[in-house]
Amino acid sequence: MKETKSEILQGTLDLMVLQTLEAMGPLHGYGIARRIEQLSEHAVVVNQGTIYLCLIRLVQRKWIKATWGTSENNRKAKFYTITKAGQKQLKAEAEDWQRVSGVIGRLLQLTAGGKTS
Amino acid sequence: MSYLHRLIARIAAWFRRAELDRDFDDELKTHLSLLVEQNLRRGLSTEEAMREARLSMGNLVSLREKHRDTRGLPLLDTLLQDLRYTFRFLRRDIGFAFFAILIVGLGIGASAIVFSVLNTLLLRPLPFKDAERLVWIANLKSIPEQTTQVGHILDAREANQSFSELAAYFAYYSTGDLKLTGAGEPERLTAVPVSENFFRVLGVEPQAGRVFSEDECRIDGPPAVILTDALWKRRFASSPEIVGQTLQLNGRPVRVVGVMPASFDFSSSFTPGSRVDLFSPFPLTKETNRMGNTSAVVGRLKPGVTLESAQAEFHLLGQRLTTEHLSDRNEYQPALSSLRAHVTGRVRPAVIVLACAVAVVMLIVCANLSNLLLARNATRQKEMAIRVALGAGRPRLIRQLLTESIVLSGAGAVAGVAIAVIGTRVLTELDAFRIPLLSSVQVDFGVLTFTVVMALVTGLAFGLVPALQVPAIRVNETLKDSNRGSVGGRKHNWIRSSLVVTEIAFACLLLVGTGLLVRSFLRVLDVDLGFQPERLATLRIDPGGAESSTEAKRNAYFDEALRLVQNTPGIEACGLTDVLPLEGDRSWGVAGVGQVYDRENYPSAFVRIVSNGYFKTMGIPLLAGRDFTEHDRASSEQVIIINDTLARRLWPGQNPIGQMVTQDGGRRVVGVVGGVRHVTVEQESGSEMYLPIRQTDDFSAVELVVRTSLPEETAGTAIREALKPLDANLGATEFRRVQQLVDKATSPRRFVVMMLAGFSSFALVLAALGIYAVISYSVQQRTQEIGIRTALGASPGSLQARIILETLRLAAIGLVIGLGGSLILTRSLSSLLFGVESYDPTSFIGTVVVLIAVATVAGYFPARRASQIDPITALRSN
């Protein structure tokens, strides 16, 4: 039960990170976490550390790559960039996501409709 | 794709884990500082800002660990942890570790040795090129050597469609046929005459020089020999210059044309247990055709031809050749088998029995170690409980325990390989054993692979039962230490008892099998060979070129030799023969004069050419008539001595003395002697006949046989001294004891018996240990109960009796299962048995007695300890 939940979360987190990097260009871990919080208007409150587990996974799959740089407060930071393979993956996952969410959306409406009638 | 990337990245990351850990720390620090700055901007105090930052990052320690797990190879990490823990645990109880490793080591060592024998004899191809297409073509009409007449070989070579080539070697060469003189100590050498294409058919190349040319394989072609690697090393110091030089062999110059490589060991494949020094050319011509059945035949199948189709073709071919040459050739009934089957077929059942025996030993080893580990884990319950309490999951604990057992078996495997290397080296030195390919047994890659697999399987097998006991641990109870040897203990005892019962049953099986084979071996040693091998010695004394030129000179040589030896002090009797028992045989057709037999039933008999005194020397009883005398010569009447079997065959119910046989245009039977086991020790003697050596020249060797009271070392010198006037060049090293021939003939059996006896003793020791461990444990568990019993007045004697009875109960259950299994399984041993039935009561009863005795002793020590338990201490202790 617990596992399934984290799995779903994990998959969504991957998608969110990829999309953030695609839209915003190179970012470090803090930047990514912050962007996701802002965009979701704090609806998705990730434990910020968890971002890094997601990042290492994506790096190892070669969907994003990391380079050392300097953060805005002049510290050594790793900046992540989406790769070609990552973009492809993002596209595929985004389509999947949209299809599924569309289906879910319709399903929920149908259920609601069934109830009222 | 991305998964593959990930795997590679994980492996890479695992090796760079220290560096990556630092990187990650840097990354986290930056992240934290950025968070803190943001919080400060939101107007929090420094302290608050830092607290908030840490809160939103979560637990950093666990994050680092998770990062490492996601990034690297967590399984390997835990494995290393498990290993570290295992080594700590084993170091803590070095005695237990040593003992366990020793048991596994002996078991795996024994398995590896047996496997290397099995691998060499039954699995690996013979040491020839494309050996699976080599076929042995026996002639069933020639007993016992299965040889074929040259004419048939030549015709079959022309006519057949199945073989790309047929090669042959002359099967009636004998030990020491060639005498090497010239530089160095004179020495008798054994040469195998081979056909020109022999090496080509087997697919072996000389390491120096060349094989025989066609010219050399003609009758009276240029004399040539090829050396074996062993002779080349021993006699010629591996000098490459030897090729092209001439040697003096039997007083004739012979050119050395080549040297075969060490990998080509003719004798270990074709004539195990004997020594071959040289190869000489054997012409396949009409001259050699006249010599009768002479040749052993090996063929190389054409690609795509099966053994069955070749056999079908040769069946018809044999019938055709036999009918076409009814008058001028011996019969030919070819029987084809793969060369491997011919070489190793006879020892195959024995090797399989050994393999099964060693498998049983391994099962006992596993049962025993399971038991030991169970006992150890029982003392580790608290430790386990603490680990569970600290959050170790059940899978983790099971994995830990299996790691321990696999580490033990792995260490045992290392010891086992060492044992196997030594063991196989010993085996290759056993040239007195008539077992094919024994000299090439070694620990090779196959054996090492086998050992690794064996170690893993063993480790899992003996670790599994103890590891699965883990769920039985109840943290609370164990930690509260409130167990009073109750239910859990009883369950343990049940498992341990059944392990011991298994051990006893398997040990019983091994003991019965060993008992049967040992008794067979003793029966074989007891066999009446028809002669007395004790104190008999033999030496080749073939007359030289000059002495053998005429019959008169030859006979004078024999007379003189016998006289000189007879007059030597310490020599009780002496005689001459051309073939020694168990060394080789030829047979000739023979019938009484005037008797008519159809071709199928024509009698034949083994032939020996002997002198007067031979029967007395060998201890072969003269049943009727007289022995040969020195007066049985060319000038006197042609005579023959036959054995009782031939006498009954030719003249059933009549007196054979004075009858005539057809041999050499008529020989009169002057004596009847007892039969001699000539072929194998196990096989009854057939029809035999003896011709006086002074009345024929149809022999290729002359062996002097003496019965002597002198010790072996001095006898050789004494005979050599005595014969000096006749031949100054006799080598004393060629003096052989006849007992050695007998020992060699029984050696495969001795080999199996020795191995099995070793396995059984090991199994017995393990079973005893198993019983001891279980009974000790149960006594220890029931200390309180025993204390109470003693306090209530139970006598030490009755306590001892109770415990020993408990031991015997286990032994009895094991025995019933084991004996039942034995009754079924020993039937498959029947091909190895001699003179005993597979249900031989002595072996079965012996096994029962031995096992019960061992169980009683093993149970006695814990029983005595129990009877000495002081009730007060026992009740006070927890």
The answer to whether residue B24 neighbours chain A at the CB level (below 8 Å) is yes
Give the tokens for residue B863: 């029983």
Amino acid at B414: V
pLDDT score of A44: 61
- What is the rounded distance in angstroms from the CA atom of residue B83 to the CA atom of residue B77? 10
- Threshold 0.80, pTM exceeds: no
- At residue A116, does pLDDT exceed 60? no
- List chain B residues with CB under 8 Å of A29: 27, 31
Helix (H) or strand (E) holding B662: none
* Stretches in chain B below the pLDDT threshold 50: 482-488
Closest-CA distance of chain B to residue A113, Å:
41
pLDDT score of B613: 92
Helix (H, G, I), strand (E, B) or coil at B161: coil
Chain A and chain B share a number of CB contacts under 8 A equal to 73
Q: Which of B10, B56, B67 sits opposite A48 (nearest CB)?
A: B56
Q: Which of A48, A50, A73 sits opposite B33 (nearest CB)?
A: A73
**CB contact (8 A) between residue A48 and residue B35:** yes
Is-contact B224 B257, C-beta < 8 A? yes
Distances B436 to B337, B423, B667, B796, B850 between C-alpha atoms, Å: 16, 17, 41, 59, 35
pLDDT score of B799: 85
The answer to whether residue B16 neighbours chain A at the CB level (below 8 Å) is no
pLDDT in tens, A56-85: 989 988 899 999 988 888 888 889 999 999
pLDDT score of B667: 92
Is-contact B863 B800, C-beta < 8 A? yes
pLDDT score of B339: 92
The answer to whether residue A38 neighbours chain B at the CB level (below 8 Å) is no
- What is the rounded distance in angstroms from the CA atom of residue B680 to the CA atom of residue B694? 28
**CB contact (8 A) between residue A28 and residue B31:** yes
Among the listed residues B356, B509, B539, B435, the one whose alpha carbon sits nearest the alpha carbon of residue B847:
B509
Burial of A67 (0-12, 13-18, 19+ CB in 10 A): exposed
The answer to whether residue A20 neighbours chain B at the CB level (below 8 Å) is no
Nearest CA in chain A to B20: A56
pLDDT score of A76: 86
For residue B297, what are the β-bridge partners? B137, B168
- What is the rounded distance in angstroms from the CA atom of residue B318 to the CA atom of residue B289? 16
Q: How many CA atoms lie within 13 A of B461 on its CB side?
A: 18
Q: Dihedral of CA A26/A32/A34/A40: which sign?
A: positive
Helix (H) or strand (E) holding B120: none
Give the tokens for residue B135: 């076929």
B523 Cβ contact partners less than 8 Å away, ≥ 6 residues apart: B834, B835, B836
Distances B561 to A9, B556, B573, B702, B730 between C-alpha atoms, Å: 105, 8, 13, 11, 12
Mutation target to probe the B interface, by most B beta carbons within 10 A, among A9, A13, A52 is: A52
Q: Within 10 A of B80 (CB to CB), how many other CB atoms are there?
A: 11
* 3-state helix vs strand vs coil in chain A, percent to 5: 65, 15, 20
DSSP alpha helices (H): ranges in B602-667? 614-618, 644-650
Is-contact B417 B451, C-beta < 8 A? yes
- What is the rounded distance in angstroms from the CA atom of residue B199 to the CA atom of residue B616? 44
For residue B624, what are the β-bridge partners? B672
Helix (H) or strand (E) holding B166: strand B163-170
- What is the rounded distance in angstroms from the CA atom of residue A95 to the CA atom of residue B744? 83
- What is the rounded distance in angstroms from the CA atom of residue B483 to the CA atom of residue B201? 76
**CB contact (8 A) between residue A78 and residue B58:** no
Peptide bond into B144 cis (omega under 30): yes
Closest-CA distance of chain A to residue B28, Å:
8
Nearest CA in chain B to A48: B57
Is-contact B370 B465, C-beta < 8 A? yes
Among the listed residues B774, B779, B775, B767, the one whose alpha carbon sits nearest the alpha carbon of residue B853:
B767
3-state secondary structure B203-268: CCCCCEECCCCCHHHCCCCCCEEEECHHHHHHHHCCCHHHCCCEEEECCEEEEEEEECCCCCCHHH
Cα-to-chain-centroid distance, residue B477: 54
For residue B736, what are the β-bridge partners? B538
Burial of A100 (0-12, 13-18, 19+ CB in 10 A): exposed
Among the listed residues B35, B31, B65, B60, the one whose alpha carbon sits nearest the alpha carbon of residue B50:
B35
- What is the rounded distance in angstroms from the CA atom of residue B13 to the CA atom of residue B116? 41
Nearest CA in chain A to B66: A53
Q: Within 10 A of B572 (CB to CB), how many other CB atoms are there?
A: 13
B340 Cβ contact partners less than 8 Å away, ≥ 6 residues apart: B125, B126, B131, B132, B134
Phi and psi torsions of B701, nearest 5°: -155, 155
3-state secondary structure B489-548: HHHHHHHHHHHHHHHHHHHHHHHHHHHHHHHHHHHHHHCCCCCCCCCEEEEECCCCCCCC
pLDDT in tens, A4-34: 334 445 568 888 889 999 998 899 988 888 8
Q: What is the DSSP string of B335-380?
A: EEEEHHHHHHTTTHHHHHHHHHHHHHHHHHHHHHHHHHHHHHHHHT
- List chain A residues with CB under 8 Å of B21: none
Chain B contacts in chain A segment 72-101 (CB below 8 A)? 72-73, 75-78, 85, 89
Distances B616 to B7, B196, B232 between C-alpha atoms, Å: 84, 43, 40
**CB contact (8 A) between residue B6 and residue A76:** no
Give the tokens for residue B627: 């022995």
- What is the rounded distance in angstroms from the CA atom of residue B273 to the CA atom of residue B747? 9
- What is the rounded distance in angstroms from the CA atom of residue B187 to the CA atom of residue B735? 11
Cα-to-chain-centroid distance, residue B808: 36
- What is the rounded distance in angstroms from the CA atom of residue B673 to the CA atom of residue B689? 9
The order of strands in the sheet holding A64-70 is: A27-28, A76-82, A64-70
**CB contact (8 A) between residue B60 and residue A49:** yes
| Angle at the Cα of B817 from the Cα atoms of B816 and B823, rounded to 5 degrees | 90
Among the listed residues B861, B850, B854, the one whose alpha carbon sits nearest the alpha carbon of residue B775:
B861
- List chain A residues with CB under 8 Å of B56: 47-48
B518 Cβ contact partners less than 8 Å away, ≥ 6 residues apart: B753, B756, B757
- What is the rounded distance in angstroms from the CA atom of residue B358 to the CA atom of residue B760? 9
Q: Within 10 A of B826 (CB to CB), how many other CB atoms are there?
A: 22
Among the listed residues B125, B423, B440, B445, the one whose alpha carbon sits nearest the alpha carbon of residue B261:
B440
Helix (H, G, I), strand (E, B) or coil at B722: helix
Q: Which of A34, A47, A62 sits opposite B58 (nearest CB)?
A: A47
B396 Cβ contact partners less than 8 Å away, ≥ 6 residues apart: B78
- What is the rounded distance in angstroms from the CA atom of residue B280 to the CA atom of residue B216? 9
Q: Looking up tokens 């103890």, which residue turns up?
A: B466
